[in-house]
Amino acid sequence: MRRTYLMPLMFVALAGLDLPADGPVPVDKPEQATAPEPAAKAPGNAKIPNAAAADQKPAPLPGITTPEESEAALAGCEAELRKLQVTFDRLEPVTGENGCGITAPYAITEIAKGVSFSPATEMRCETALSLARWVEGVVLPATASLPGKARLTAINHGSTYVCRRRNNLPTGKMSEHSIGNAVDVVDFEFDGRGPIGIVPRAGDGNIEEAFQRAVRGGACLHFTTVLGPGADASHDDHLHFDIAERRGGYRLCE
């Protein structure tokens, strides 16, 4: 009979104690029953590489998406090129790794009447149209302002479509060149005067610097990216133009 009365009294006594709200935090058990061998020490402050981390493959490099083209949009673009007297041919689609490619590439042989564009090109029609509008609205008027009777006869480029990353680096974002959105202009040829190449000219104070500044600045009206000498060392010998789309219509002109 005494045992029957003791149990309720024990519960009453425990109820008056301040017990913790949470139970004890469980301790992770080791994976092995036996104690692990002590870790080897690396000389100095060097750390021994984690075997699991060493087996992990590097994250895939960022790719790019080839823009889709509609036949209606291409027909409209071609009509505009003809108005600007551009000589062009539509080529077969090109594709590459990491999203590289052009659904409807174009070869431009004359970017304006009597103005050759070389070497051979592969670019989107929209890129060619921006280029032609730049020549019509900026380059030809700048040429007319050169001393003498200079006539623009050729524009030479360093690259159009190339499946590569920005600035030819092994990692990082894909270049706009890789989807036919970009062109690198390296020099201009004329009848009536010598050629004008793209080189660092800041402070030269001559007509060649004035011409280069004019065609570079005016390109910002036709392209969303304009880079050249002074922007960084990789653009000291050409003008990079592209039609990359950015939020809010932002344009990068450097």
Give start and end residues of each alpha helix (H) in 22-124: 51-55, 71-83
pLDDT, residue 63, reads 79
Burial class (CB in 10 A: 0-12, 13-18, 19+), 26: exposed
pLDDT at 243 over 50: yes
pLDDT at 147 over 60: yes
pLDDT at 219 over 80: yes
User: Which of the two residues, 36 and 83, has the higher pLDDT score?
Assistant: 83
User: For residues 112 and 132, what is the distance between their CA atoms, to the nearest angstrom?
Assistant: 7
Beta strands in 113-181 (DSSP E): 115-118, 151-159
243, 176 in Cβ contact below 8 A? yes
Burial class (CB in 10 A: 0-12, 13-18, 19+), 225: buried
Q: 8 falls in which pLDDT band (50, 70, 90)?
A: very low
Q: What is the mean pLDDT of residues 225-232?
A: 94
Q: What is the mean pLDDT of residues 228-241?
A: 94
pLDDT, residue 56, reads 56
Q: 38 falls in which pLDDT band (50, 70, 90)?
A: very low
Q: What is the mean pLDDT of residues 97-114?
A: 96
